[in-house]
């Protein structure tokens, strides 16, 4: 969407605050021995306290309020009472919602408790790469150039990027144009436009370059890497300006 009135800005600030604070609270609330369903229920109550509705549930009838991935899951993990969190797990929580006709999205990967499996380096890389990518976004910048930054920074650290999961426009709906890949798509000639709202996200991988269904016969949602390994994701909803972007979901604290 494009911010064309003060009401647009106020609406986007409100829904972005809801998803950002919910994500931050869910990361703090998670603990070993808890199921991902318990964590999702906590997030759902918090979102509803803002008057917000789960975007994946209302848009796609996703079987949960938030997407929660554990270890080798990459995206769209279904909350489950049978999936129990453990010390050292690599967890990703993605929270998106609608409030009064406005939509926002954010996500973050983190290590639960002690980093006994050495996932923290991957997580930190994803955070740093997102920060660098966003710092280079302004009106007129080519989208493929930001994808190049993400991919180059990942390679420099010994990682890969997931090619078929991207950032996206947002605001009037959960997913809008433009698509914002994590790599330099030579055929993408689009540029970021002033006052538009986008969700920029990293998918930094240890081994894989594509996300595929984990079990197509029984689960039409959960994605894993095509070559295994682990993936860290971080995401902010931002407004494009002529200079530094406005980070609407800054309250999630993923860079703290």
In a domain, 41, yes or no: yes
Provide the pLDDT for residue 203: 98
Provide the pLDDT for residue 216: 85
119 annotated as ligand-binding: no
The token pair at 170 is 């947002």
Give the count of domains, the chain. 1
8 annotated as ligand-binding: no
In a domain, 10, yes or no: yes
In a domain, 144, yes or no: yes
Provide the pLDDT for residue 217: 82
**CB-CB contact of 122 with 247 (8 Å):** no
Q: For the chain, which residues score pLDDT lower than 50?
A: none
CATH, residue 59: 3.90.230.10
Provide the pLDDT for residue 46: 98
**CB-CB contact of 53 with 19 (8 Å):** no
Helix axes 36-49 and 6-29, enclosed angle (nearest 10): 150
In a domain, 64, yes or no: yes
250 annotated as ligand-binding: no
State the residue for tokens 């991919």.
151
94 annotated as ligand-binding: yes
76 annotated as ligand-binding: yes
In a domain, 169, yes or no: yes
Provide the pLDDT for residue 13: 98
In a domain, 12, yes or no: yes
201 annotated as ligand-binding: yes
In a domain, 1, yes or no: no
Provide the pLDDT for residue 218: 86
Provide the pLDDT for residue 107: 98
Structural domain boundaries enclosing 171: 6-252
105 annotated as ligand-binding: yes
pTM summary value: 0.97
In a domain, 107, yes or no: yes
């Amino acid at each position: 969407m494009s911010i064309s009135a003060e009401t647009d800005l106020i609406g986007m600030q409100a829904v972005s605050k809801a998803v950002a604070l919910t994500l931050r609270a869910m990361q703090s609330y998670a603990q070993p021995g808890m199921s991902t369903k318990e964590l999702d229920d906590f997030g759902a109550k918090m979102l509803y306290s803002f008057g917000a509705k789960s975007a994946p549930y209302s848009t796609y009838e996703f079987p949960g309020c938030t997407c929660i991935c554990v270890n080798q899951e990459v995206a769209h993990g279904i909350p489950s009472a049978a999936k129990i969190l453990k010390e050292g797990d690599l967890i990703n929580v993605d929270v998106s919602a609608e409030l009064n006709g406005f939509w926002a999205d954010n996500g973050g990967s983190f290590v639960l408790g002690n980093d006994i499996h050495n996932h923290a380096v991957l997580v930190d890389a994803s955070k740093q790469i997102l920060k660098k990518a966003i710092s280079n976004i302004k009106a007129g910048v080519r989208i493929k150039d930001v994808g190049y930054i993400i991919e180059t920074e990942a390679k420099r650290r010994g990682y890969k990027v997931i090619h078929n999961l991207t950032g996206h426009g947002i605001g009037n709906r959960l997913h809008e144009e433009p698509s914002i890949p994590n790599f330099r798509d030579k055929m993408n000639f689009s540029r970021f436009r002033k006052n538009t709202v986008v969700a920029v996200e990293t998918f930094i991988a240890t081994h894989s370059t594509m996300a595929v269904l984990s079990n197509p016969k029984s689960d039409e949602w959960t994605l894993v890497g095509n070559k295994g390994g682990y993936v860290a994701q971080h995401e902010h909803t931002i407004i494009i300006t002529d200079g530094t972007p406005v980070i609407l979901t800054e309250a999630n604290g993923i860079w703290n």
